[in-house]
Amino acid sequence: MAKVDLNDARQRLAQIPREQIGFFPTPLHRLDNLSKDLGISLYLKRDDLSGPSTFGGNKVRKLEYLLADAKRLGAEYVITYGATQSNHAMLTAIASSRAGLRPVLFLTAVVPPDPKDLRGNLLLDHVLGAEIHILPMQPGMSMADASAARYESAKLRIMELESLGHRCYKIPGGGASPVGCLAFASGYLEMMEQAQREGVDDFDYIVHASGSGGTLAGLTAGRALSGSRAAILSFASGFKGADYASNVADMANKALSLIDCTPLVAPEDIKFDMGYVGQGYECPTDASTDAVRLFARREGVLFDPVYTSKALAGMLEYIDLGTIPKGSKVLFWHTGGVTALFAEAAIVGDVHR
Ligand SMILES: *Cc1c(COP(=O)(O)O)cnc(C)c1O
């Protein structure tokens, strides 16, 4: 394994099998109104427009690599996990349709859905014909307990499918595997090329919402490959354990090893803030709700109440406090999730006021 230069990295990434599912590169553009209001130069990277349907998101990038891997291994079924309003689960169903694979979803009802009034992603999962298993969230259950319960019930279904001779490909929640996050290493290089075409050599800050950590791992790996000096500021959508940074660094290095690169990411490179989560995952806050309205009303760009809005709230406060100084060049990576604006009222919050 060797340290590689940028062209070398590009070539190695291009050799990783990739299923064509979305539309890449996703757009990158400046927000003139809010740049003026906030005293920074603010850009968006539009992974919400990744396609292939109206409702894109960051998982499409990852799924291009993951489903290519599934097909290489001869899988027919794709098994994945999330909440009932999981963007990742819905996009796995979308991507599986394109790739000719059968999606099986294990979904925890963090906010219980009404079976007579299906909303948002869960409605789409049904439209897409996914095999859906819903697991209740028992009182007092942590998110870690919920994901353990999902794995247990998936195990039984996988055994059943395999005993019938079907091969299953398991995708961790959020698509956070080394193969999946390699997509964001390549996404980082895609973004740098676009930025340079816009006359920005490098951003000072790259801001995004974090869940499983796969996006953060991939971006951090991509930054190391590209030589970019941007600080990546990652805002959590829910509470994470103390080992989050080391797990993310480990995933980034495993992704790099898939393209024969030496480890380039240390846990200290992971800047991660849980200060804008509020009560928890899928619980909107006043600041996240205000952020959705601000970007809608000043720029006509929609963000989601679960992930991106909390990262926007964090970014806006960092600008206020001077943690992100005036005049900075800031890229906000729009990771999608806008279907959650049509989810259960408890998830949507007061964005309409
Ligand atoms: C999944 C998701 C994220 C977080 O990405 P991870 O790779 O899981 O950390 C952010 N925003 C949206 C809209 C998502 O669906």
Average pLDDT rounded to a whole number, residues 30-47: 98
Q: Kindly give the number of the ligand 1 atom that is closest to the alpha carbon of 173.
A: 8
Q: Kindly give the number of the ligand 1 atom that is closest to the alpha carbon of 62.
A: 7
Q: Kindly give the number of the ligand 1 atom that is closest to the alpha carbon of 87.
A: 15
| Distance in Å, CA 307 to ligand 1 centroid | 7
| Distance in Å, CA 17 to ligand 1 centroid | 22
| Distance in Å, CA 58 to ligand 1 centroid | 6
pLDDT per residue over 154-199, tens digit each?
999 999 999 999 999 999 999 999 999 999 999 999 999 999 999 9
Distance, CA of 194 to CA of 134 (rounded, Å): 41
Whether 341 and 305 have beta carbons less than 8 Å apart is answered as yes
Distance, CA of 306 to CA of 181 (rounded, Å): 21
Distance, CA of 160 to CA of 158 (rounded, Å): 5
pLDDT per residue over 65-108, tens digit each?
999 999 999 999 999 999 999 999 999 999 999 999 999 999 99
Neighbouring CB atoms inside 10 A of 84's CB total 27
Q: Kindly give the number of the ligand 1 atom that is closest to the alpha carbon of 174.
A: 8
pLDDT per residue over 300-332, tens digit each?
999 999 999 999 999 999 999 999 999 999 999
Distance, CA of 351 to CA of 231 (rounded, Å): 30
| Distance in Å, CA 244 to ligand 1 centroid | 15
Mean pLDDT, the chain, rounded, equals 96
The helix-helix angle for 178-197 and 214-226 (nearest 10°) equals: 50
Tell me the best of 48, 50, 59 to mutate to test the pocket of ligand 1, counting ligand atoms within 8 Å of each CB and taking the most. 59
Tell me the best of 58, 81, 220 to mutate to test the pocket of ligand 1, counting ligand atoms within 8 Å of each CB and taking the most. 58
How many residues are given for the chain? Answer: 353
From the candidates 41, 50, 86, 234, give the one annotated as an active-site residue: 86
Catalytic residue flag (residue 226): no
Strands (E), the chain: 28-30, 41-46, 77-83, 102-109, 131-136, 168-170, 205-210, 231-236, 271-273, 329-334
| Distance in Å, CA 87 to ligand 1 centroid | 8
Q: List all residues whose CB is within 6 A of at least one atom of ligand 1.
A: 57-59, 87-88, 174, 176, 209-216, 304, 307-308, 335-337
Three-class DSSP category at 134: strand
Neighbouring CB atoms inside 10 A of 274's CB total 16
